[in-house]
Amino acid sequence: MAPTPLQGSARGLILGLVGGLAAGIVEAISLVRDAPVARAALLEAGLYAIIVDALACATITGVLGAIFAAALAIARVHLRPDRVAALYVSGSTTFILAMVGWLWAFRAAGGDRGPGVRTDVLFVVLLVAAACGVLVHPLAQSFALRLFARPKRLALGAVVPTMLLVLVFPVQVFMEARQHRAPTVGVHGIQLIDPSVLELDFDADLDAAFAQIGTMAPDRPPNVLLLTVDALRSDHLGACGNSWIQTPAMDALARASALSCSTYPQQPQTNPAIASVFTSLYPAVHGVRMHMVDRLSETLPTLAEVMHSAGYTTSAVIPWTSLEPAFSGFHRGFQTYEAFVLNEPPAMQNPATAALAAIYRRVTDQVAVGSAVEAVLGMRQGTEAEIDGRADVTAQAALTWLANNGDSQFFFWIHFFDPHYPWTPPEPWDLLYDEGYEGRYNGDMSFVYEMRSGVFEPNPRDVQYLRALYASEVSYTDHYVGQVLGFMARRGLLQNTIVVLTADHGEGLGERGNSWLNGDYWLHGDDLYAPGIQVPLIIHDPRSTRGHQLLSAPIQHIDIMPTILDLVGVSIPRRLQGESIVPLLTGADRGSDRMAFITLSDDSQTSVVSAQGWKLIADRVTGGRQLFYLPSDPEERVNLAPAFPDRVLALSRRIDAWAAANASGVASAPVPTNETARLGISAARSSP
Ligand SMILES: [Zn+2]
């Protein structure tokens, strides 16, 4: 007698569950083994691997078992029960071994950051799995019948553990949703009012406004406005020497302020970078290594918390999903923390479904099966293409808050998302730098998806247009930075507000040759060349009479928190790793000992920049070292490692010492021999 479909699916379910658990354990072990640093979320990632793999395998083999049994029933084949049972066992063995082999190959090839599993490797894996299935078949005939003798008990044994595994996720959602309902977060409390009331689109003479400041002695500690612009590279700012871009507002701010065009994020991705701004800690210490996956630990004090306990009214306007509490944990210390994300699914505004989305994100980013499901269904791509964080909405929200709360002593954080892709600036900015393009790109997410799929092949004209769109987004954002500053000037707020402006990271625009197929040297987070990591920092202190100052020493994001606290006279917590730059502003220190350390999320590359203008990029995988002298080679075209082996050695030792002190994964990198230095091994990891 052939089994019923129910029996078939129960048998498939239990075999898949057992095999999937095994596959998950293999994946969890390889996750831990491949992890370059002791990431906080590693244990969680390992558990996800076991649960998701077990559930995925159980589902697939359960369905296959049902189909197999139904096919037998329809064909009215009367096979001996021991043969049917043996077929289940050998078929499932093949499937599960193929799964384990694929997971192993996926991780060995670099996981979701690498080029993927090679076809020949996959073929060998399938061949070995099939051979094992054939070998198991005669053995299975003897024991499978006993195993499947009681279908009801078997089904119960399969369904109960499956349900228990499934339950992990709702329980987690419940717990996280409770966390997110923190009493200090007033989500969507800001009701946007009519832009005309807010005087948006007025033309403020910012130079005149800043010139008037400095004559009034404020009777209380100044407010602090922290502006972060997403993906704004230094060389796309007029104040940093760009002769063609239009950034009049930020330039006017810079003319009245201390300006650094060589400020560095600690890791060039939004959430890891901003975590360093808010904690003054290196990424390996604050633990936010994977963007939108790792959240800031509740135990670390943040800039907002310190400012709030010093008596400041704290508020944030954020226009992007990754900064929301479920994905970042950055809301701590803010009395109001408002997200203004365009076209965000309504579910994201509910703490429970936002927690679910965050868990989904963590699973798909960490677990091989999760990323496979993501690739097949393309769920995130569909959502990502719709969501946007526009500068005009951000500015409107910011001005509404300022209009209602400008009288308080405030610490206000505004994040402008715009120069970040998609590069779709509204009119009239869209045609600002390139009018006659008729190619296939329009700056929306499609070119990013092409990069992720490894099929991005723009011609030089396309590249020119995409670069023009990025520049347009910078100018568009600048306009709205100007609206905020102009509004504050009219309300007299600039006179008692310290304005700090920086970017979370830069943006590569394909400057480094033809490695476009994988999107290398485009966007950010995958390399440590200047376009992706060199960002501006502007500090305007209304009490200062020093006017414009250009700071040349490298400044790190972790220096921003101690600098702000220093400026407003709040004592600086002891555990911070950054250093106030106030001595640079006053001239007490020239900054000749300052250095900046920047690393990628997996520490595969780490860079150090010295105050003397030397920059070393160390590659942990190849052991390669690239040395650049930025004053004469800002585009990093000439690798001087072969010519200056002693300097390479000295800077490598600085990186090693930094890595050892920060539990970062670079210390084990081999010190370059003269041979590798002479060859000047490229640091490109995944370029074809
Ligand atoms: Zn960013």
Using a cut of 0.85, tell me whether the model's pTM lies above it.
no
Residue 357 falls within a domain, yes or no?
Answer: no
pLDDT of residue 68: 79
537 Cα to the center of ligand 1, angstroms: 15
601 Cα to the center of ligand 1, angstroms: 14
Same-domain status, 165 and 222: no
Mean pLDDT for 263-281 is 96
Same-domain status, 435 and 574: yes
Residue 594 falls within a domain, yes or no?
Answer: no
Same-domain status, 151 and 281: no
Same-domain status, 627 and 484: no
Helices H / strands E in the chain, number of each: 22, 15
231 Cα to the center of ligand 1, angstroms: 5
330 Cα to the center of ligand 1, angstroms: 14
Identify the residue with better confidence: 324 or 385: 324
265's tokens: 């994020």
pLDDT > 90: percent of the chain: 37
228 Cα to the center of ligand 1, angstroms: 9
Q: What CATH number is given to the structural domain containing 582? A: 3.40.720.10
Q: For tokens 């650094």, what's the residue?
A: 260
The model's pLDDT over 16-54, given as tens digits with 9 standing for 90+, comes to 777 778 878 877 887 776 665 555 566 777 888 888 888
270 Cα to the center of ligand 1, angstroms: 4
494 Cα to the center of ligand 1, angstroms: 27
pLDDT band at 536 (very low <50, low <70, confident <90, very high): very high
B/e letters for 558-583, b = 16+ CB within 10 Å, e = fewer, are bbbbbbbbbbbebebbeebbbbbbbe
Given 123, 156, 175, the domain boundary residue is 175
Report strand pairing: 614-619 vs 625-629. antiparallel
Angle (CA) 338 306 405, round 5°: 45
Same-domain status, 317 and 400: yes
528 Cα to the center of ligand 1, angstroms: 15
> Could you give the number of structural domains in the chain?
3
Residue 353 falls within a domain, yes or no?
Answer: no
Same-domain status, 299 and 169: no
Mean pLDDT for 206-227 is 81
| Cβ neighbours for 406, distance < 8 A, ≥ 6 positions apart | 488, 491, 493
Residue 688 falls within a domain, yes or no?
Answer: no
CA distances in angstroms from 203 to 486, 489, 507, listed in the order given: 8, 11, 29
Residue 205 falls within a domain, yes or no?
Answer: no
460 Cα to the center of ligand 1, angstroms: 26
146's tokens: 């006993």
232 Cα to the center of ligand 1, angstroms: 9
Same-domain status, 480 and 545: yes
113 Cα to the center of ligand 1, angstroms: 18
Same-domain status, 283 and 156: no
Same-domain status, 145 and 120: yes
Same-domain status, 261 and 133: no
420 Cα to the center of ligand 1, angstroms: 7
90 Cα to the center of ligand 1, angstroms: 49
Given a cut of 80, is residue 322 above it in pLDDT? yes
602 Cα to the center of ligand 1, angstroms: 17
Same-domain status, 163 and 223: no
328 Cα to the center of ligand 1, angstroms: 13
Given a cut of 60, is residue 114 above it in pLDDT? no
234 Cα to the center of ligand 1, angstroms: 14
Given 589, 617, 638, the domain boundary residue is 589
Given a cut of 80, is residue 481 above it in pLDDT? yes
The mean of the pLDDT values for the chain is: 82
Residue 542 falls within a domain, yes or no?
Answer: yes
Q: Which domain holds residue 550?
A: 217-344+389-589
The model's pLDDT over 626-684, given as tens digits with 9 standing for 90+, comes to 999 999 999 999 999 999 999 999 999 999 999 888 876 554 444 444 444 333 333 33
The model's pLDDT over 167-178, given as tens digits with 9 standing for 90+, comes to 887 887 777 777
Same-domain status, 105 and 222: no
Residue 372 falls within a domain, yes or no?
Answer: no
Q: What CATH number is given to the structural domain containing 628? A: 3.30.1120
- The C-alpha atoms of residue 521 and residue 126 are separated, in whole angstroms, by 35
Residue 180 falls within a domain, yes or no?
Answer: no
